[in-house]
């Protein structure tokens, strides 16, 4: 019999991971008249995405190319993260169902795929839908059919290790999810040298979820939103809670009203707490974690970044760095470990402390 320690070894480093490990990279443009490309992502494993985005942006690629390739890097990674794409955890029936979305600031163009099976890079399917599809959102078999008709290959994306963990859960957990060990979403915001903002998300969702469950990640306004006139936001954490307040849309609208990214994120977290106190939340039954766990990252059109979370976090910018790769800075806050990774970052003076 496989022990829980054996099956969960690779995930143990993330069982008490941060709510919102912000990863930020800023690239200094040497081309006159161009704005500074930059990227920011959620969670510690977002460093994988930011490294890839930094490479693409430094080569002059568009923000939409950079965002897609950055998320692909996480979707296909099975070593450094265990929460998105290949290597993620399946639903209650042992089937992998993936959600992803991408949206451009210019033109409000977007594509979203929900509960798609057998496709390793769902964010690329979402981009294909955004650019060539008749619709904006496709789910389940429809999303899979669209992917196959557009050249994507069906694959087995449930790894042996994830299958073993699922089988262990069935035997030992009696179909009760360990909320402390739940996983989460990659969300990234990219700005290219033309100034365009693009957001992208991808997730395998709440582990051992009911088949067909969809969280906030691929839902416009909840898990992500961008408006070229004012900024972009991505959310992470308890999707059922994030959806109640359309938090990403709220953050972008607050930036439209003049809030800094940090203030906009803090306002959204305060709004979520107000929704919770009104009795809209089901006492944690619909949460992925044991306590309310939601974080938001935002970027305005100037490239200023802000964040806030329900758990509280403290981030400090690492300035005067010429390195293009991200480096992790652990910061302890109570029982939670928070990480900031930055590269030549341009942060606001106050960043990401929940109030």
| Catalytic, out of 26, 42, 121, 185 | 185
DSSP string, 1-63: ---HHHHTGGGGGGTT--S--EEEEE----STTPPPPEEEESSTTHHHHHHHHHHHHHTT--H
Q: Tell me which residue of 274, 281, 219 sits closest to 249, measured CA to CA.
A: 219
123 occurs within a structural domain: yes
The annotation status of 60 as a binding-site residue, yes or no, is no
Contact 140, 116 (CB under 8 A): yes
Domain membership of residue 249 (yes or no) is yes
* Number of other CB atoms surrounding residue 175 within 10 Å: 8
Residue 351 confidence (pLDDT): 35
Domain contains 216: yes
Least confident of 142-146, 251-255, 299-303, 313-317: 313-317
What is residue 249's predicted lDDT score, i.e. its pLDDT? Answer: 98
Q: Is 214 annotated as a binding residue?
A: yes
Q: Alpha-carbon distance 85 to 77, whole Å?
A: 8
Residues 258-271, mean pLDDT to the nearest whole number = 94
Could you give the CA distance from residue 187 to residue 237 in angstroms, rounded to a whole number?
11
Could you tell me if residue 285 is left (phi over 0), alpha (psi between -120 and 50 degrees) or otherwise beta?
Answer: alpha
Domain annotation covers residue 32: no
Q: Which of 78-82, 114-118, 180-184, 201-205 has the highest mean predicted lDDT (pLDDT)? A: 114-118
What's the CA gap between 15 and 185, in Å, rounded? Answer: 15
Q: Residue 48: in which H helix or E strand, if any?
A: helix 46-58
Residue 87 has what pLDDT? 82
Per DSSP, the residues of 248-266 read HHHHHHHHHTT--HHHHHH
Question: What b/e readout covers 216-247, taking b as 16+ CB neighbours within 10 angstroms?
Answer: bbbbbbbbbbbbbebbbbbbbbbbbbbbbbbb
How high does pLDDT run on average in the chain? 77
Query: Cα–Cα distance between 114 and 100 in angstroms, integer?
Result: 7
Residue 176 CA to residue 296 CA, distance in Å, equals: 28
The residue among 172, 8, 174 whose CA lies nearest residue 89 is: 8
Residue 158 lies in a domain: yes
3-class SS letters over 63-77: HHHHHHHHHHHHHCC
Q: Is 287 annotated as contributing to ligand binding?
A: no
Residue 152 pLDDT grade (very low, low, confident, very high; cuts 50, 70, 90): very high
Kindly give the interhelix angle for 63-75 and 46-58, rounded to the nearest 10 degrees. Answer: 150
Residue 26, marked binder: no
Residues in the chain: 355
Within-domain flag for 28: no
Phi, psi (5° rounding) for residue 319? -100, 165
Q: Which two tokens stand for residue 227?
A: 């408006």
- Angle in degrees, CA 147, 235, 105, rounded to 5: 65
Q: Is 136 a catalytic residue?
A: no
Number of domains in the chain: 1
Give which of 252, 189, 243 is closest to 218, Cα–Cα. 243
CB 81 within 8 Å of CB 45: yes
Q: Is residue 227 over pLDDT 60?
A: yes
Q: What angle do CA 249, 330, 231 make, to 5 degrees?
A: 20
Confidence of residue 97 (pLDDT cuts 50, 70, 90): very high
- The whole-model pTM stands at 0.82
**What CATH number has the domain bearing residue 48?**
3.60.20.30
What mean pLDDT comes out for the span 51-72?
A: 94
Residue 240: pLDDT over 80: yes
The answer to whether 143 and 160 are in contact (CB under 8 A) is: no
Quick check: is 291 in a domain?
A: yes
Parallel, antiparallel or unpaired: strands 305-309 and 294-300: antiparallel
Task: Select the more confidently predicted residue: 110 or 241.
Answer: 110
76 φψ region: left (φ > 0), alpha (ψ -120 to 50), beta (else): alpha
pLDDT confidence band for 313 (50 / 70 / 90): low
| 236 labelled ligand-binding | yes
Q: What confidence score (pLDDT) does residue 219 get?
A: 96
Q: Which domain holds residue 282?
A: 38-336
What are the structure tokens assigned to 305, written together? 């970044």
Higher pLDDT, 26 or 228: 228
Binding site annotation covers 215? yes
Residue 130 included in any domain = yes
């Amino acid at each position: 019999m496989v022990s829980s320690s054996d099956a969960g070894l690779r995930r143990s480093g993330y069982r008490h991971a941060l709510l919102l490990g912000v990863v930020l990279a800023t690239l200094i443009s040497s081309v006159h008249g161009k704005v500074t490309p930059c990227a920011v992502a959620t969670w510690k494993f977002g460093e994988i995405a930011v490294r890839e985005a930094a490479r693409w942006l430094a080569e002059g690629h568009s923000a939409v190319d950079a965002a897609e390739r950055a998320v692909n890097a996480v979707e296909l990674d099975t070593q450094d993260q265990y929460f998105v794409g290949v290597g993620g955890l399946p639903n209650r029936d042992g089937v992998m169902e993936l959600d992803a979305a991408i949206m451009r600031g210019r033109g409000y163009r977007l594509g979203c795929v929900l509960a798609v099976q057998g496709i390793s890079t769902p964010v690329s399917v979402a981009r294909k839908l955004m650019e060539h599809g008749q619709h904006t959102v496709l789910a389940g078999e429809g999303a899979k059919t669209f992917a196959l008709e557009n050249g994507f290959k069906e694959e087995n994306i449930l790894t042996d290790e994830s299958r073993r963990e699922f089988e262990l859960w069935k035997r030992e957990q009696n179909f009760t999810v360990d909320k402390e060990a739940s996983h989460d979403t990659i969300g990234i915001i990219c700005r290219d040298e033309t100034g365009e903002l693009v957001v992208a998300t991808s997730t395998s969702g709440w582990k051992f979820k009911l088949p067909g469950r969809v969280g906030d990640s691929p839902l416009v306004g909840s898990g992500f939103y961008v408006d070229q006139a004012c900024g972009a936001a991505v959310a992470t954490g308890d999707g059922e809670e994030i959806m109640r307040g359309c938090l990403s849309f709220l953050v972008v609208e607050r930036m439209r009203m003049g809030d800094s990214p940090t203030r906009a994120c803090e306002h959204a977290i305060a709004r979520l707490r107000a929704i919770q106190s009104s009795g809209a939340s089901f006492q944690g039954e619909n949460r992925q974690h044991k306590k309310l766990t939601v974080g938001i990252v935002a970027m305005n059109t100037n490239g200023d970044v802000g964040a806030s979370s329900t758990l509280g976090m403290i981030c400090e910018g690492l300035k005067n760095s010429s390195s293009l790769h991200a480096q992790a800075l652990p910061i302890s806050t109570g029982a939670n470990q928070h990480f900031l990774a930055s590269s030549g970052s341009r942060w606001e003076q106050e960043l990401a402390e929940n109030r």
